[in-house]
Amino acid sequence: MATTPISGRQKNRRQENEKAILWAAERVFAEAGYGGATMQLIADLAGLPKANIHYYFQTKEELYRRVVSNIFNIWLEAAAFDETASPAEGIGAYIDAKMDLSRTHPHGSRVWASEVMHGAPIIQDYLEDVLIEWTEGRIGVIQNWIDQGLMNPISPRHLLYLLWATTQHYADFGHQIETLNNGEPLSDAQWEDAKNSVKAIVLTGIGVTDPHRGV
Amino acid sequence: MATTPISGRQKNRRQENEKAILWAAERVFAEAGYGGATMQLIADLAGLPKANIHYYFQTKEELYRRVVSNIFNIWLEAAAFDETASPAEGIGAYIDAKMDLSRTHPHGSRVWASEVMHGAPIIQDYLEDVLIEWTEGRIGVIQNWIDQGLMNPISPRHLLYLLWATTQHYADFGHQIETLNNGEPLSDAQWEDAKNSVKAIVLTGIGVTDPHRGV
DNA sequence: GTCTATATTTCGATAGAC
DNA sequence: GTCTATCGAAATATAGAC
């Protein structure tokens, strides 16, 4: 209260700059990796002088950690499934949601992948804390479906890995997919085709029927 | 002939050093990314002075290109399938081979993934040349199986993406999988479980029976 | 709060003795 | 063919004027 009162206008400016920096940082970290990214590139893409980046985020690592943290939270909020749904509805909706995230947040997905691939040096605590709890919970849901005879008795854990791998592949390996698509990004129709293909294989693979395809 | 005759012993020394450098480089590039990797780290891991690395490989990029090229060739040679096999045998063996590669060459897989994720700046020619041809060939094989009624009419292209994504996930996201396994690497039995789980889901998903599970 | 100028460190690459 | 010493470039981070 007693220190540096900030007007609404200044507060907005601060939020806008932080947002611009995080937006730019996500793209630069995704394209160059943590080691290849430079504060200068982030500053240029954000349209700010380099020193301002250091004003809002003291170190490169602090900025990076904020970027990874944002991505992780988006995933947790946007993509989940619980026992109230049937396997076909639950898993089908999860595939749709994760595929949509790969399309709308490809840079974030790549930053996460890079971080994990290099041993998660910055966000190991997220893995050991939130991700383990989330995963064990989903395994429980799937196991319940199996116990009720609603789907084939496959390994819930490896089903989750297959779902993560496949849906994130469309973001992380988007450049390879684009190259194999005559250098063009996937069209709306091609994204629909991708989602339907993944759902067809997986839902048939676990012994349930795709609810959007009729009986 | 007229220039610097090389004894067999010297030739061996050269091959051994090159091998040691490539071995170390694969690990350092995998763990730190291209930008994060340093010639000093590679030299230390290879047990050679830094200047020697530059003697055998003039630039960092040249060394990196050799590493990526090696990995790509290993994949092409070790993992393939053709029309002589049934879908269950062909795809099943392909899953086994790719899973084994993920276990035996996890660093190489991560280097490849990093390279593609960052837009394949160094090996785009491989993607546009060899990979496109390989992929179109496999799509033809799968389409023939479908046309003969040997498997469900899913999209061959997206089946390939699912197979790449899932099998490579066990290498690229190996750290995450290890964290979700109480910090322990997968045991022999757990690797078998992983392979069988992937095969069970995929082979059922494309409408064929796992040949190793009987009818 | 902003930005220019610079300090400090580190890396890729090379020169030159052996 | 090997290795020590070092150069020059580039990066992170900060000091200090505005």
B52-71 residues near strand C (Cβ < 7 Å):
54, 58-61
Specify the pLDDT at position B214: 44
What digits encode the pLDDT tens for the residues A133-143? 999 999 999 99
* Residue at B111: amino acid letter: V
CATH number of B66-205: 1.10.357.10
Contacts of residue B208 in chain A, CB cutoff 8 Å?
none
Instruction: Report the pLDDT value the prediction gives residue A9, as an integer from 0 to 100.
Output: 53
**Taking chain A, what is the end-to-end CA distance rounded to the nearest angstrom?**
64
CA dihedral A173, A175, A181, A183 (to 10 degrees): 180
Which of left, alpha, beta for B47 (phi over 0: left; psi -120 to 50: alpha)? left
- Per-residue pLDDT for B26 more than 60? yes
Q: Is the per-residue pLDDT at A2 higher than 90?
A: no
What pLDDT, in 10s, does the model give residues B58-105?
A: 999 999 999 999 999 999 888 889 888 999 999 999 999 999 999 999
pTM: 0.92
pLDDT at position B111:
96
Q: Which fold has domain B7-58?
A: Arc Repressor Mutant, subunit A (1.10.10)
Residue A141's CB is within 10 A of a number of other CB atoms, namely 18
Judge contact between A95 and A196, C-beta under 8 A. no
**Nucleic acid strand C: bases within 7 A of protein CB:** 1-5, 10-16
- Nearest by CB to residue B110, choosing from A117, A152, A166, is A117
From A198's Cα to the closest Cα of chain B, the distance in A is: 7
Q: Is the pLDDT confidence value at A182 over 70?
A: yes
How confident is the model over B103-128, as pLDDT tens digits? 999 999 999 999 999 999 888 988 99
Weakest-pLDDT range from A14-18, A91-95, B183-187:
A14-18
Do the two domains B7-58 and B66-205 of this chain adopt the same fold?
no
- Predicted confidence at residue A138, as pLDDT, reads 96
- Please tell me which of the candidates A35, A162, A201 has its beta carbon nearest to residue B36: A35
B5: pLDDT strictly greater than 60: no
User: Tell me, what's the pLDDT at B2?
Assistant: 37
Q: How far apart are CA B71 and CA B64, in angstroms?
A: 11
- The residue type of B121 is P
- Average pLDDT for residues B39-56, to the nearest whole number? 93
* Residue extents of the structural domains in chain B: 7-58, 66-205
Tell me whether residues A201 and B197 touch, CB distance under 8 A. Answer: no
pLDDT at residue number A213 = 55
